[in-house]
A = this chain, B = another copy of it.
Amino acid sequence: MPQKPAKRPPPCPPPRAGEGREGAPSGRKTRGAARDDNTVITALELPGAELTPAMQAYFDKCTEKLGFIPNVLKAYAFDMPKLEAFVAMYNDLMLAPSGLSKLEREMIAVAVSSRNRCYYCLVAHGAAVRSLADDPVLGELMVMNYRAARLDRRQRAMLDFAVKLTAKPWEIEEVDRNALREAGFTDRDIWDIAAVASFFNMSNRIASASAMRPNSAYHGQKRE
**A86 within 8 Å of B (CB atoms):** yes
**How long is the Cα–Cα vector from A165 to B211 in the complex, in angstroms?**
12
Contact of A170 among B46, B85, B147 (CB under 8 A): B147
Within 8 A of B (CB), among A122-156: 122-123, 133-138, 140-141, 143-145, 147-152, 155
Q: Do B209 and A198 have beta carbons less than 8 Å apart? A: yes
**A68 within 8 Å of B (CB atoms):** no
Q: Do B144 and A220 have beta carbons less than 8 Å apart? A: no
Assuming the A-B contacts A33-B155, A45-B187, are A57 and B134 also in contact, with contact meaning beta carbons closer than 8 angstroms in the complex? no
Q: Do A190 and B145 have beta carbons less than 8 Å apart? A: no
Q: Given the complex, which residues of B lie within 8 Å of A223, measured CB to CB?
A: 219-220, 223
Q: Given the complex, which residues of B lie within 8 Å of A161, measured CB to CB?
A: 209
Q: Do A3 and B137 have beta carbons less than 8 Å apart? A: no
Q: Do A165 and B86 have beta carbons less than 8 Å apart? A: no
Interface size for chain A: under 10, 10 to 19, 20 to 34, or 35 or more residues?
A: 35 or more
Q: Do B173 and A6 have beta carbons less than 8 Å apart? A: no
Assuming the A-B contacts A89-B89, A210-B194, are A3 and B3 also in contact, with contact meaning beta carbons closer than 8 angstroms in the complex? yes
Within 8 A of B (CB), among A202-219: 202-206, 208-211, 216, 219
Q: Given the complex, which residues of B lie within 8 Å of A84, measured CB to CB?
A: 2-4, 6, 88
Q: Do B89 and A205 have beta carbons less than 8 Å apart? A: no
Q: Do B209 and A205 have beta carbons less than 8 Å apart? A: no
**How long is the Cα–Cα vector from A84 to B117 in the complex, in angstroms?**
30
Give the shortest distance, in Å, between A99 (CB) and chain B (any CB): 12
Q: Given the complex, which residues of B lie within 8 Å of A80, measured CB to CB?
A: 6
Q: Given the complex, which residues of B lie within 8 Å of A81, measured CB to CB?
A: 6, 8, 88, 92, 96
Residues of A near any B CB (own CB < 8 A) = 1-6, 8, 11, 28, 31-36, 43-46, 52-55, 57-58, 78, 80-89, 91-92, 96, 114, 116-119, 122-123, 133-138, 140-141, 143-145, 147-152, 155, 161, 165-166, 169-174, 177, 187-188, 190-191, 193-195, 197-199, 201-206, 208-211, 216, 219-220, 223-224
Q: A-B pairs with the 5 shortest C-beta distances?
A: A194-B209, A117-B170, A3-B5, A202-B202, A198-B205
